[in-house]
Structure 1
């Protein structure tokens, strides 16, 4: 089933819309997600085909190399600083939308936890979810 995901930043300067069925819905406990979110993990809905993404407003991005050495681009609002999504140079067909930026985050139903090996002791997410020490095998 294909859904339309809409959302934006905290101040409203950035708005986006993306249709598609999720490839994955997950909590990531890698150190970069901890730093970016300001807590123990970040939560994402991962979708295919970036080319049909509609964005209103001027995003800024900053690149960072992941554990694999591959670069990912974190898109955020230059006014309020809210993160809205992440794209990946090694997988340009994918986009990971920050669940907190969704208009309706209740549509998020996580199926896994990635980088659980880096979890903070106080950050317990999704008991019963499939958990991977790093990224799940391709």
Structure 2
């Protein structure tokens, strides 16, 4: 897994850089992520805030209320609608960004180690053996599950 890596939105208005390998890579199978992405799940990597740098453009926030009642903010390109960041995690000074893997220019080798909300997973999705899988949120923060297993 080589870093740094760069990424951006579909129209090119947003560009960013990720300086170091992620703390964890996860796939979310919740229905909100399915609806937001138009796909079966969303794959994201979590990096310390200091390792994520926006290099072009400004992200626009979109806020929603989760089933739990928590307010979640996601960030996207205002021009083309590409989702770039999920919710911010942690508290200052230990903030983490949740970066959508599909927006990286090169997502080679970024296999999810954790699968969450598998109770909502599409019936044709196979969760790889050796992954941490949880029917809803994991019992401890995602940051505690480490890197993806080797392919």
The 1:15–1:54 alpha-carbon spacing in structure 2 relative to 1, beyond 3 Å, is same
TM-score (norm 1): 0.86
Contact 1:5 1:19 in 2 (8 A): yes
The 1:65–1:109 alpha-carbon spacing in structure 2 relative to 1, beyond 3 Å, is same
Gaps of 5+ in 1: none
Question: What is the rounded CA distance, in whole Å, between the counterparts of 1:108 and 1:8 in structure 2?
Answer: 17
Question: What is the rounded CA distance, in whole Å, between the counterparts of 1:29 and 1:52 in structure 2?
Answer: 26
Contact 1:2 1:19 in 2 (8 A): no
The 1:71–1:19 alpha-carbon spacing in structure 2 relative to 1, beyond 3 Å, is farther
The equivalent of 1:24 in structure 2 is: 24
Shift of 1:121: 1.6
Contact 1:60 1:75 in 2 (8 A): yes
Question: What is the rounded CA distance, in whole Å, between the counterparts of 1:114 and 1:74 in structure 2?
Answer: 18
RMSD after superposition: 2.0
* SS of equivalent residue, structure 1 residue 79: coil
Q: Which deviates more from structure 2 when the two are superposed, residues 32-41 or residues 60-69?
A: 60-69
Question: What is the rounded CA distance, in whole Å, between the counterparts of 2:118 and 2:41 in structure 1?
Answer: 10
The 1:52–1:131 alpha-carbon spacing in structure 2 relative to 1, beyond 3 Å, is closer
* SS of equivalent residue, structure 2 residue 102: helix
Question: What is the rounded CA distance, in whole Å, between the counterparts of 1:127 and 1:87 in structure 2?
Answer: 25
Gaps of 5+ in 2: 141-151
Shift of 1:106: 1.0
Shift of 1:78: 1.1
Shift of 1:68: 3.5
TM-score (norm 2): 0.79
Aligned length: 135
Question: What is the rounded CA distance, in whole Å, between the counterparts of 1:53 and 1:134 in structure 2?
Answer: 27
